[in-house]
Amino acid sequence: MKLIFKKIHKDEIFNKDFDNLSEENGSIEFKKKYTSGGIAVVYAPNGTGKSSLAEVLKTKKNSDNVYFYATDERGNNITPESDKFHIVEDQISRHIIEGDESQYLVGAQIKKEFELKKRISEGFREAFKEKLPKLYKSKYSVSKKGDYLIEKIKEVSDDGYEFIKSIVNRNYHGSNISREDFIKYLLNNENKLEVRDLEQEKMEFVIKDCANSKVVERLLTIDHNKVIMSSQAPLIEQHNDAIRILDKYQTAKSCIVCDNKDYDGKGLLAKKKASKQRIYDGLDSVTKDLLDKVVMDSSLANEDPFGIKSVVIRFISENDLDGLTKLQENLKHYIKNIVKGMLNDLFSCFDGTDVIKDFEELSKLQKEQPYLDDDDLLFIQDVISENIDRDIRIIRADDNERNFKLMLGDLPLLNVERDQMCLSTGEQNFISLAFELLLAKNSPKEYIVIDDPISSFDSVYKNKMAFCIVKFLEKKKQIVLTHNLELVKLLEFQANGCFNLYMLNNNDGGRNGFIRVKSDEQKLLINFHELIALFQNKDDKLIREIKNRRLFLISMIPFMRGYAHFTIDLHDYYGRLSEIMHGYGTAEVDLIPIYNELFGNIFSGEEKVTSKDVLEIDCDGLDFFSKDTYPLLAETLRQTLVYYYLRMTVEKTLIDVFKITTKSNKILMLNEIIQEAFKAKPDDNDFKIKRSYRVFFASRKTLLNEFNHFEGNVNIFQPAIDIAESKLEKEIRDIIDRLEKVKVDFKDINR
């Protein structure tokens, strides 16, 4: 359920980083909770390239100016030529409802068959490509069709052998298995085998050895009639032990065993090697092979739960054939029961799924003649007709009763210009998009991209549209592009936790691509009570994130001021915080008791702040709230603090330069300061330059409102997520530069 973009390009719109996206910043994962498809919401501030992304995905052929390249979670390549994306464009692009009725209406029986086939395919893919290969590899060390244990399955079950051989084959992963034959095999209880209890240590040894050392495999192929008995054979191992010790200590001054001072390590080592070689040369080739590949195999030095080494030595030296035969039978017993376990594991591959039940249901449906029923018609009637004050009907066409015709009153609905529908603009927009979603629902394409679906709707239709998106496209993988945080909330309220949220970043010098909003932070964005719970330090989540308490509290001043308006503000926190939100203020406020009163007894001590303190903040490299858990909130608080500082700086600079009089009992709003500073008559010599400054500062919308006044909208994330970072940074530079110019242009002013 993942789409991984490697490249996205359209003229000069996207940053160069989009030509080399990684899995980290190029992935979109679809949340599959209430839907069989999945939803990913991509939030993109205006000017980021949201609609351009939809246009890129709409293209059918790569060119020098427009191209993209992606892969899915299965590693399949996706390019424009793949034609995987169905685009639902923004409202401006929707003029008529195109197509024919067959693209919008699918009978319940046919829909059911498609649903069953999809679920069955997903179930088989999960079992054959993921579950069983991983199980056989981890449990039995089997990963390819030629493995020894795979071949031994033939001795128990021919069908099971063919199934498992195909499943572990990386080129097939069961794709050549008849699903019907496999289901029949699972339903046949005679195929279930009784597995004897095995000693865990011995079973693990056999599995490991069959995959690596092959001692068991060699041991089971011994032709004992070809082995010539030798009482000297056991001395080979003894000589090997002695040689290892002598080789290690051959330069010692005395014997490490008996402390003999006449010790000649090199001489003894040479004698032992020669003695071993004489014994070895006296053995026949079969015995040598048995010693080399079984007895002396390094795997038996670490573990030998069957006593293989001692049994084989006794057989060679004492002709203990009975012991060897018993060992071989025991090993065969273990192998047979292990492969029985492998076969029985097939029967659990669909545990926790309805694949078998779905397959049986599909088999019954496929024996019946498919037909269209009224489910979709009723759905359209209920969801769409009741949401507009018009009658949408389905009639049967005259030519064939199996065909349907969508009607708006007595006129056809499809392929009609919008101005002929006799609907209000809101009704036109709603019905147009609703049918676009129905068309997308029945599209054969894998991904549905919806570009800014509710931008032109009023509040009533926005909620209805959110419902349609979730309901109509529940079987599709959806990418919902929006710059409207309200849509994000509406989708959440329609189906809790139904989507993954991403930020589309497209800025010079920033982290670009699709940035996943973590679940904890997504909750903060959507649910105000979750944000307040964080500020209340529930489960100590807040304290862990604060790196600089003082700067954090200062950054919270605008939000606390707005939040105080929604509480029983007995101590006039709103007024007290307002006094330090103006660059000319002289008051000093302790933020600790205010924060504790609003959000709970969290901080101790005191944190007194004045307007002068804010004006002295160094905004370069601010890092006072951890970005690990709540990166978006950290950035929001940083931007809020920067704009708080900027607002104060503008006020202070204009008041100082133009010597504007302030009164302790009257708050001068920034707009008033701007108007007073740059007031001039048309015939004044400096009229044009003052008008230019007045327009510049008055037009800094973010400076004047969103970052500093939350009493109208307590969403702390606005407008931080609604404005591209590059635009914010440019605005900051422009404001600072313009203030410096004000000081120069009006340094000699006499007021």
Secondary structure (H, E, C), 381-426: HHHCHHHCCCCEEEEECCCCCCCEEEEECCEECCCCEHHHCCCCHH
**Domain map (residue ranges) of the chain:** 2-107+372-517, 109-192, 200-345, 536-745
Distance between terminal CA atoms of the chain?
68
Encode pLDDT of 198-245 as tens digits: 899 999 999 998 888 888 988 888 877 776 666 666 656 666 666 677
More confident residue, 375 or 311: 311
Q: Which of 115, 113, 91, 86 is closest to 438 using CA atoms? A: 86
Look at residue 706 in the predicted model and tell me its pLDDT.
47
Residue given tokens 């060992």 in the structure block: 327
Confidence bin at 85 (pLDDT 50/70/90): very high
Answer whether 579's CB lies under 8 Å from 585's CB. yes
Q: What is the pLDDT of residue 364?
A: 82
Three-state SS for 348?
A: coil
**What integer is the mean pLDDT of 93-111?**
61
Using a 10 angstrom Cβ sphere, with 0-12 exposed, 13-18 middle and 19 or more buried, the burial of residue 465 is: buried
Single-letter amino acid, residue 40: A
Cβ burial 335-348 (10 Å sphere, 16+ → b, else e): bbbbbbebbebbee
Phi (first) and psi of residue 387, to 5 degrees: -95, -5
| Run of H or E residues at 517 | strand 513-517
Residues constituting the chain: 751
The confidence band for 567, taking pLDDT boundaries of 50, 70 and 90, is: confident
- For residue 631, whether the previous peptide bond is cis, meaning omega lies within 30 degrees of 0, is no
Mean pLDDT for the stretch of residues 554-577: 88
Q: What are 439-489's pLDDT values in tens digits?
A: 888 888 999 999 988 776 777 678 878 888 888 888 899 999 988 778 888
Q: What is the pLDDT of residue 137?
A: 94
Supply 389's token pair.
């004050």
| Residue 395 confidence (pLDDT) | 66
Q: What are the strands, taking DSSP E only, across 284-403? A: 392-396
Q: Kindly report, residue by residue over 500-528, the tens digit of the pLDDT.
A: 999 888 877 667 899 888 888 888 888 88
Q: Which of 2-11, 45-54, 251-260, 461-470 has the lowest mean pLDDT?
A: 251-260
**pLDDT by residue (tens digit) across 107-126?**
555 567 668 878 999 999 99
DSSP 190-235: GG--------HHHHHHHHHHHHTT-HHHHHTT--GGGPPP-TTTHH
**pLDDT tens-place string over residues 381-404:** 665 666 666 667 766 556 433 345
Average pLDDT value over all residues in the chain? 82
- Minimum mean pLDDT among 273-287, 379-393, 635-649: which range? 379-393
Per-residue pLDDT at 540 exceeds 80: yes
- Convert 375-388 into a string of H (helix), E (strand) and C (coil): HHHHHHHHHCHHHC
Fold classification of 2-107+372-517 is: Rossmann fold (3.40.50)
Confidence of residue 45 (pLDDT cuts 50, 70, 90): confident
CB 406 within 8 A of CB 438: no
Share of the chain above pLDDT 90, in %: 34
Which amino acid is located at 379 in the chain?
F
Secondary structure element (H or E) that encloses residue 608, with its range: strand 608-610
Q: How confident is the model at residue 103 (pLDDT cuts 50, 70, 90)?
A: low
* Per-residue confidence (pLDDT) for residue 6, from 0 to 100: 95
What pLDDT is stored for residue 250 in this prediction? 72
With bands split at pLDDT 50, 70 and 90, how would you rate the model's confidence at 281? low
CA angle 582, 721, 668 (to 5 degrees): 15
Q: Is the pLDDT of residue 705 over 60?
A: no
pLDDT classification of 270: cutoffs 50, 70, 90: confident
Give me the phi and psi of 246, to 5 degrees please. Answer: -65, -40
pLDDT of 418 > 80? The answer is: no
319: left (phi over 0), alpha (psi -120 to 50) or beta: left
CB–CB of 67/431 below 8 Å? no
Q: State residue 147 phi and psi, 5-degree precision.
A: -60, 150
Is residue 448 within 8 Å of 416, Cβ to Cβ? Answer: no
Name the pLDDT band for 145 (thresholds 50, 70, 90).
Answer: confident
Of 347, 353, 343, 302, which is closest to residue 142 (Cα–Cα)? 343
Q: How many CA atoms lie within 13 A of 396 on its CB side?
A: 8
> Is 429:456 a contact under the CB 8 Å cutoff?
yes
C-alpha span between 45 and 485 (Å, rounded): 10
> What average pLDDT does this structure show over 590-614?
95
Please check whether residue 68 is in contact with residue 79, taking contact to mean a CB–CB distance below 8 angstroms.
Answer: yes
CA 612/CA 522 separation, integer angstroms: 35
* Cα 634 to the center of its chain, rounded Å: 21
- H-helix or E-strand spanning residue 612: helix 611-615
- Which band of pLDDT confidence, cut at 50, 70 and 90, is reported for residue 617? very high
Q: Is the pLDDT of residue 681 over 90?
A: no
Q: Which DSSP letter does residue 370 get?
A: P
Q: What is the mean pLDDT of residues 610-634?
A: 90
